[in-house]
Copies of this chain bind each other. A is one copy, B any other.
Amino acid sequence: MNEMKPADFALHIEKPTLVVNKERAHNNIKKMADKARKSGVRFKPHFKTHQSAAISDWFKEFDVNSITVSSVDMAGYFAEHGWKDITIAFPVNFLQIRKINKLAHEISLNLLAESGEAVGFLRRNVDKNVRIWIKIDVGYHRTGIDCDNFKEILDVVRDIEKAPNLILSGILTHAGHSYDQRSNHGIKKIYQETVGKLNEIRDKLRLHDFKDIEISIGDTPCCSVVDEFTGVDEIRPGNFVFYDIMQLEIGSCTEQDIALAAACPVVAKHEERNEIVIYGGAVHLSKDFIIDKKERKIFGRAAFLEKNGWGSLIRNTYVKTLSQEHGIIKTDSGTFNKIQVGDVLMVLPVHSCLTADLLRNFITLEGEKIQAAQYDFIK
């Protein structure tokens, strides 16, 4: 093998391009699948992160046969590609009932409900049995029934039991407030609180004779950091397949776990401020950012292109601002001088789900091109 041969994928880069390290993604999946198996819980990974049938195949090697998605269209896409057990982890969108019914006839469909209103709508409008998870808010406060409002939870459970077409599966949460943590200890604490609260609800429901209540949790920080999934029946992490700079900052992964980068051409340099202009902006990377320990807004971190992918994160180097197509990388003079206009820099995204959603298609380090879903626009 010729040592000087450039990476296969590098030959394809002439504009912002999503590059995936398949080996790392495989390892990430394996690690999570193994931990789920050892804990005896169902692994129902969230596919919103990649939205790609080809990448979904990677999960099949690890005996994954049920998945989570975040929209009806995404469920339709993966159902078309052979997935038969799907949870749409999003409040029911009444306006898509026609598509929901179509899916209910094709696969084992799991929906979320968080109000009597939603349950009533489903009871009246779903013409095939579907499974229902009650969405519980354990502290993230995005949506779901407040975990302390047992009366409402019980009312919704009773509404579901009364509906002949709705089968109660259990209670489900996304502890998104784990993203605010910056230590393993803090994340584990969120996990324990979450699982504690959900088990309390399950225990109370048992007292009301509702016996078969499963517990489903989802966030990547908790699923990555805890050693054993005590007290739950199902996990639904998504981001872990690629991880990203946000997860690195939170402490969910190491740098060597990050499996996704956007290859971006260098188009200008500004020596007076050690700034590199890349072709790679908000429409490629998304405007999600983290605030780092030095109080800087970070829209991505950079690494050099290497024969086998990309190197370590370059010290003192980060994406400082983004406009529609431009990215500005701040660096130091040593790195500045190593980078030339016409080079390609690898940008590790802050939020891999959003970057993958924008760039939509992937190339592996081996040069394999991978498509993602294309949804119909407008009814």
What is the interface of chain A, defined by CB distance below 8 A to chain B? Answer: 11-15, 17, 48, 70-73, 90-96, 99, 114-115, 117-118, 121, 141-143, 146, 176, 265, 267-270, 272-273, 277, 279, 282-283, 286-288, 321, 323-326, 328, 341-342, 344, 353-354, 357-361, 363, 369, 377-379
Across-interface contacts of A176 in B (CB, < 8 A): 323
Contact A288 B279 (CB under 8 A): no
Q: A15-B71, A48-B325 are in contact. Are A354 and B141 (CB under 8 A)?
A: no
Contact B90 A326 (CB under 8 A): yes
For A145, give the chain B residue with the smallest CB separation: B270
Across-interface contacts of A378 in B (CB, < 8 A): 12-13, 17, 361, 363, 369
Q: A283-B354, A378-B363 are in contact. Are A91 and B268 (CB under 8 A)?
A: yes
Give Cα A353–Cα B72 distance, bound, in whole angstroms. Answer: 26
For A179, give the chain B residue with the smallest CB separation: B323
Shortest CB–CB separation between residue A22 and chain B, in angstroms?
Answer: 16
Q: Which residue of B13, B328, B354, B377 is within 8 Å of A361 (Cβ)?
A: B377
Contact A279 B90 (CB under 8 A): yes
For A96, give the chain B residue with the smallest CB separation: B14
Q: Which residue of B72, B288, B328 is within 8 Å of A287 (Cβ)?
A: B288
Q: Which residue of B341, B369, B377 is within 8 Å of A94 (Cβ)?
A: B341
Contact B288 A282 (CB under 8 A): yes
Instruction: Supply 18 A–B pairs (Cβ within 8 Å), ascending by A.
Output: A14-B379, A15-B72, A15-B73, A15-B93, A15-B379, A90-B325, A93-B279, A94-B342, A95-B265, A115-B268, A115-B269, A118-B341, A142-B277, A143-B328, A283-B354, A283-B357, A324-B357, A360-B377
